Amino acid sequence: MTTPPTQPPTENETGRLEAFSDGVLAVAITLLALNISVPLRESGHPWHGLAAALAGQWPVYLAYLLSFLTILIIWVNHHNLFKLIGHFDQLFLLLNGLLLMVVTLIPFATTLLADYIQQPDQKTAQAVYATVSLLMAIIFNRMWAYASRDRRLLSADAEQKQVDAITRQYRFGPILYLSAFGLAFVSAQASLAVCIGLAVFFAVPSGLLHRAPG
Amino acid sequence: MTTPPTQPPTENETGRLEAFSDGVLAVAITLLALNISVPLRESGHPWHGLAAALAGQWPVYLAYLLSFLTILIIWVNHHNLFKLIGHFDQLFLLLNGLLLMVVTLIPFATTLLADYIQQPDQKTAQAVYATVSLLMAIIFNRMWAYASRDRRLLSADAEQKQVDAITRQYRFGPILYLSAFGLAFVSAQASLAVCIGLAVFFAVPSGLLHRAPG
Amino acid sequence: MTTPPTQPPTENETGRLEAFSDGVLAVAITLLALNISVPLRESGHPWHGLAAALAGQWPVYLAYLLSFLTILIIWVNHHNLFKLIGHFDQLFLLLNGLLLMVVTLIPFATTLLADYIQQPDQKTAQAVYATVSLLMAIIFNRMWAYASRDRRLLSADAEQKQVDAITRQYRFGPILYLSAFGLAFVSAQASLAVCIGLAVFFAVPSGLLHRAPG
Amino acid sequence: MTTPPTQPPTENETGRLEAFSDGVLAVAITLLALNISVPLRESGHPWHGLAAALAGQWPVYLAYLLSFLTILIIWVNHHNLFKLIGHFDQLFLLLNGLLLMVVTLIPFATTLLADYIQQPDQKTAQAVYATVSLLMAIIFNRMWAYASRDRRLLSADAEQKQVDAITRQYRFGPILYLSAFGLAFVSAQASLAVCIGLAVFFAVPSGLLHRAPG
């Protein structure tokens, strides 16, 4: 990574960085579903046993839904952020790499949460899950702070109004997820509820609000 | 997801949405084959035992073929739909995300079907499989209804003839798969046969019909 | 898949078909390596036991190398073929889908081969492996025959010299792999050797021959 | 792979080669995290047992971090290299294929390292890991030597200053990783430390150094 970036980077460059990021996001979001396992045939279900066995693993579905929504939101944020980015440097590459690392850890954190949310160790599992979400919020915040300071990496035609909107949007993410993390040591359920609420808040309402002018 | 979409979205934007969707579809369709397991070497097959063991897992191949065809059809539909889409908004993003969620659940539903289609719980397994197909049909229907109403998200050069063709094509999907779902509670085999019939109908004949003018 | 292709398809369309195919090929070629398992720590190796355990699973490496080379060749062929394709229709889509289906089955066939090549059932395993290779050769042959007949799907600037070169290249694939398939019932080793020879022949020499003028 | 490359290859061609390579890199980097397993619920942890069980598998995290960084560096190098490449031939394709093969082996080598770094067989595991890194360095070195000799595959607008920078950068990789390989037979820990040091050296400092002018 020591090649001197003397040439001004072209649009094509962010294109390949976006494509690689999309690949990681697409693989991670698809691997999430591998955590939903088929109940073992051999275990001798009673009548309508499969339906009961499927219903009994509801924490798996809940964790799946939450993490699917989370990676979807990351993709949308990544997309919106890169629309304003005109070029990048080595440090931004590294920050984007850290973001992708957090994304690849989401399937692990999801399995951990689903396996332990009804167990005595539920607080540990939820604390790990909230940590992953917190890291995501911090890295997005840092990526944007680095890219937008003095419009360092922004493309020339990025409107200031949009830049400011993203700045506002990313300001509170770290604090909100930090509170979810802290809450995990008090109540795993409350902390999980905050994570779900944040995901739904980020994903759903703005879509519905923008429906009219869409 | 609260960035105001003040700039008119460009072609490039749907490009990245398509690329991400393609990634999810490509991973999901490839993961399907992981369900085809190699018979255990240790289990002491009799002579020509491997051939018999491979033949004995025919439900796995059937479920694989059906789901491969299904995801292929989803890709083709997605491709044809996005050829007419010029831009998108947050709600359309969310609908597309729901579609991708259903796609990532297909490998799970496929394994469930293959494991249980010869078991007492076959109706439950087939009902789950039909539910996934039904959700797919409903979401495509809703995506298209949202995008095409008053040509809300269509590109300016989308021909009305093509728009109407897709509207006709998506109209009956939900009803057809709803009947497959209902049938699962009467006969798993009949419901599965309907799902196979629909997949073959959507995939094969039109290709053969269009062969001459292709 | 019943949308009438009234608009003349653009370059962009084959672009997305290529991207989806690339995705499937990339996932399949990467999943191959999942078959290389780490020897169990618990099984109490003697001194230098890990090295011996790793060396002992040489059929796994051989099968991996063969299949990696095979998918790489498929990608190169697919790439060379699509350079000459200008547009596509539904039947071509279906043929390309069949090709991708065969690709996704390669990891399964590879595991089967590695597990059974030293077992009494080796002929069955090699016959399955050769079948997958044979299907690949047949589908490429048919795809190209369909696309190139009267230059049906070729782009206007595809040079006839290149078209003829691919026609020659694909002519003998099915026969060669059919002989490998038949040979599997006589000698699994001989059939495997033919498959390896064909993969090396297709992958390596032409690269070396073209080195000078490259 | 015998199609004669008579047409001058276009930018589009390296585009698809880059996209395929990106796919393999994205899948491999995401699969790394599958190695981080969730401690079994059944094994009866004592109080705060999950936290202890998670902490106890620190070699898994270390190996994960190292390999994630390694694949990220490979992507950056691949990206920087292809920015200067204008076209390619069959031998370059094969070299790129070998590089991707090494990439797909990284998840295996990572699991091996994590499983055995605290075991008597640690030297074997680390030697395998260093071998994979060494192969990566050699193949990059050979790819670049082949592409840059007499500017064989370089694009016309590749600046000689950048070409020389990459030549310098790739010169010492093979020697450095060869020493890590040799060291594995003396001390697994020392060899691993060299691998970590090289990864951090290649990934981090240059980003920080380039921060100011970024």
CA dist B214 to A101, A104, B208, C11, C93, Å? Answer: 45, 43, 10, 16, 11
pLDDT of residue A2: 42
Q: Which pLDDT belongs to residue C192?
A: 95
Q: What is the pLDDT of residue B186?
A: 95
CB D110 within 8 A of CB D192: no
Q: CA-nearest residue of chain B to C28?
A: B30
- How far CA C97 is from CA of B103, C21, C22, C70, C119, in Å, comes to 17, 9, 12, 18, 34
Q: How confident is the model at residue C45 (pLDDT cuts 50, 70, 90)?
A: low
pLDDT of amino acid C117: 92
**What confidence category does residue D6 fall into, taking pLDDT thresholds of 50, 70 and 90?**
very low
pLDDT at C40 over 60: yes
Amino acid in the structure at residue D193: A
pLDDT at B209 over 50: no
pLDDT for position D171: 86
Give residue A61's pLDDT. Answer: 96
Among A40-44, D1-5, D99-103, where is mean pLDDT lowest? D1-5
Of B49, B68, B159, the CB nearest to C6: B159
Tokens at residue C80, please?
């060379």
pLDDT value of position A12: 54
| pLDDT reading at C46 higher than 90 | no
What's the whole-number mean pLDDT along residues B88-95? 89
pLDDT-derived band at C48 (thresholds 50, 70, 90) equals low
User: Which of D10, D36, D50, D57 to mutate: most A Cβ within 10 Å?
Assistant: D50
Q: Cβ contact (<8 Å) for C94 and B204?
A: yes
Tell me how far apart the alpha carbons of residues A187 and A203 are, in angstroms, rounded to a whole number.
24
The Cα angle at residue A176 between residues A172 and A182, in degrees rounded to 5 = 145
Which chains does C contact via 3+ CB–CB distances below 8 A?
B, D
Interchain proximity B27–C23, CB inside 8 Å: yes
Residue among A50, A82, A190, A203 at smallest CA distance from A130: A190
Q: How confident is residue B45, by pLDDT bands cut at 50, 70 and 90?
A: low
Averaged pLDDT, D25-33: 95
Task: Give residue A130's pLDDT.
Answer: 96
Q: Looking at CA atoms only, how far is residue C213 from chain B in angstroms?
A: 36
How many other β-carbons are positioned within 10 Å of the β-carbon of residue A153?
23
Question: Which residues, numbered 151 to 210 in chain A, qualify as contacts with chain B under a Cβ-Cβ cut-off of 8 Å?
Answer: 159, 161-162, 165-166, 169, 202-204, 206-208, 210
Query: What is the distance between the alpha carbons of residues A93 and A80, in angstroms, rounded to a whole number?
Result: 17
pLDDT tens profile C153-164: 998 888 898 898
Distance (Å) from the alpha carbon of B182 to chain C's nearest alpha carbon = 25
Chains that touch A (3 or more CB pairs under 8 A): B, D
Reply yes or no on whether the pLDDT at C203 is more than 90.
no
Distance from CA of D169 to the nearest CA of A (A): 7
| pLDDT digit string (tens) for chain A, length 214 residues | 444 444 444 445 688 899 999 999 999 999 999 999 998 876 555 555 899 999 999 999 999 999 999 999 999 999 989 989 998 888 899 999 999 999 999 999 999 999 999 988 999 999 999 999 999 999 999 999 999 998 999 988 888 988 988 888 888 889 999 999 999 999 999 999 999 999 988 876 454 444 443 3
Neighbours of chain B (3+ CB pairs under 8 A): A, C, D
**What integer pLDDT is reported at residue C7 of this predicted model?**
42
The pLDDT value recorded for residue B132 is: 96
B117, B63 contact by CB (below 8 A): yes
Across all residues in chain B, what is the average pLDDT? 86
- Which pLDDT score, from 0 to 100, does residue B40 have? 85
Question: Closest residue of A to B91, CA-based?
Answer: A207
Nearest CA in chain D to A96: D72
C112 closest CB neighbour out of B18, B38, B161:
B38
> From the centroid of its chain, how far is CA D50?
32
Quick one: pLDDT at residue B13?
66
3 state SS of A113: helix
Residue C173 banded pLDDT, cuts 50, 70, 90: confident
Chain A residue nearest residue D198, CA to CA? A1
Pick the range with the lowest mean pLDDT from A102-116, C113-127, D31-45: D31-45
Q: Residue A171: its pLDDT value, please? A: 86
Predicted pLDDT at C2: 42
pLDDT for A9 equals 44
- Residues of chain A found within 8 Å of residue B7, distances taken between Cβ atoms: 159, 162
Residue type, D105: L
CA atoms within 13 A on the CB side of B3: 25
Closest residue in B to C147 (Cα–Cα): B214
Cα nearest neighbour of D66 on chain A: A101
In one letter, which amino acid is B105?
L
Per-residue pLDDT, averaged over C156-182, amounts to 90
Determine the residue among B27, B30, B34 to mutate to test chain D binding: the one whose Cβ has the most chain D Cβ atoms within 10 Å.
Answer: B27
- Could you tell me which residues come within 8 angstroms of residue D99 by beta carbon, excluding any fewer than 6 positions away? D21, D74, D78, D136, D139, D140, D143
For the segment B136-194, what is each residue's pLDDT rounded down to a tens digit?
A: 999 999 999 999 998 999 988 888 988 988 888 888 889 999 999 999 999 999 999 99
Residue range D48-74, pLDDT digits in tens:
589 999 999 999 999 999 999 999 999
Q: What does the pLDDT read at residue C13?
A: 66
Per-residue confidence (pLDDT) for residue A60, from 0 to 100: 94
Cβ-Cβ pairs closer than 8 A, B with C, add up to: 119
Whole-number pLDDT of residue D1: 43
pLDDT of C5 reads 42
Chain D contact set for B23 (CB, 8 A): 26
Q: Global pTM?
A: 0.89
Site from D11, D17, D20, D95 to mutate, C interface, most C CB atoms within 10 angstroms = D20
Residues within 8 A of B (CB atoms), A 66-85 only: 68-69, 72-73, 75-77, 79-80, 83
At D104-135, the pLDDT tens digits run 999 999 999 999 999 889 999 999 999 999 99
- Return the minimum-mean-pLDDT range out of A101-115, B47-61, B121-135: B47-61
Distances (CA, A) of B153 to A133, B90, B146, B161, C142: 33, 12, 8, 16, 38
C1 pLDDT exceeds 50? Answer: no
- Which of D18, D24, D27, D104 would you mutate first to test chain B, the one with the most B CBs within 10 A? D27
